[in-house]
Structure 1
Amino acid sequence: MKRTQSGMTLIGFIIVLAVVGVFIYMGMKVIPMYSEYFAVKQALKQMSQEAGISQQDPKRIKDNFFARLYVSYADNVKPSDVKLARKEAGYVMTVDYEVRRPLIANFDIVGHFNAEQVLSRTAGDD
């Protein structure tokens, strides 16, 4: 009886390990970008639920927003990325920013994020 061996060779195993390693490395670059984006969305959602937000001064609203981002360690959003427009009985806050992370040599990962939230909760809206 002749038995044949089956399985992965050492070279095949090293190639699979290299491919998995590249995907893990890319994930380490991309996941923080998305966690920051979710922190931005969470800060906008919290602000929309704040009583009397529509009566506040736009500068105070932006300061409040950046204070929430500071707690979340979100440092890629700049004041120039935040737009506040008056709409009906409140504001529409738009955060549009880009994150660029180096990947390998001269390759970068670029993430463009856009979040928008209506801020119209008044003191009587409970």
Structure 2
Amino acid sequence: MSGNIRSSLRGQRGMSYWSLIFYISGFALIILFASKLAPGYVDAMHVENGLKDLAEKGNIRDMNRGEIVRDLQTYFMLNNVRGEPTKSVQVIRGAEGMLVSIDYELRQPLIHNIDVVMKFNKQLNTAKPELCCEPLVDLEQYRKRD
């Protein structure tokens, strides 16, 4: 009987010091990742919403490049989007309509010399605005010409 009592008491000791340190370190690492990566994803969400807002406008096919870029820049300014997304707006006019592309990558330092690279590619084709904001066209062919 005394053997059963000892084994049940041993099972109720709780968490050891090292287990506690392990769990706290894991939680701190998750918080670090979230705090470093979340701003990039929030900006990407605003970029997508800006393109959707542009797609909902009835006169987008009548707008020229400057008006589209200015409209997006205003949206970005109001939503505090800065940096790469604002610099990487491309408007390409085609036979059926225009393609508005925001293709960029962010490099975020994580710990000491470890960086995380996040790639975002959002496109709006004015001929198919209902398919906003997934990339439909590979823009590498346009970049090689420039």
TM-score by length of 1: 0.86
Residue 79 of structure 2 aligns with an amino acid whose one-letter code is: S
- Per the TM alignment, residue 45 of structure 1 is displaced from its structure 2 partner at its CA by 0.5
2-structure distance, mates of 1:51, 1:120 = 12
1:58-94 per-position Cα deviation (integer Å, ceiling 9, x unaligned): 0111011111011111112133x11111134431101
Does the CA-based 8 Å contact 2:109-2:116 persist in structure 1? yes
Cα 1:69–1:78 shift into 2, 3 Å: closer
C-alpha distance in structure 1 between counterparts of 2:94 and 2:113, whole Å: 43
C-alpha contact (below 8 Å) 2:76/2:86 kept by paired residues: no
Corresponding residue to 2:42 among 21, 28, 35: 35
Unaligned runs of 5+ in 2: 129-146
Q: Which amino acid aligns with 1:19?
A: G
Q: 1:22 aligns with which of 14, 21, 29?
A: 29
Comparing both structures, which one devotes a greater share of its residues to helix?
A: 2
Distance (Å, rounded) in 2 between the aligned partners of 1:61 and 1:26: 34
Contact 1:82 1:94 in 2 (8 A): yes
Q: Which residue of 1 aligns with 2:98?
A: 91
Structure of greater Rg: 2
Q: Give the letter for the 2:10 counterpart.
A: Q
Q: What is the total number of aligned residue pairs between the two structures?
A: 120
Q: Using CA pairs under 8 Å that are at least 6 residues apart, name the structure with larger relative contact order, 1 or 2.
A: 1
Structure 2 residue aligned with 1:106: 113
In the alignment, is residue 5 of structure 1 matched against residue 10 of structure 2?
A: yes
Distance 1:15 1:84 in 2: 50
State the alpha-carbon separation in 2 of the partners of residues 75 and 24 from structure 1. 23
Q: CA RMSD in A?
A: 1.6
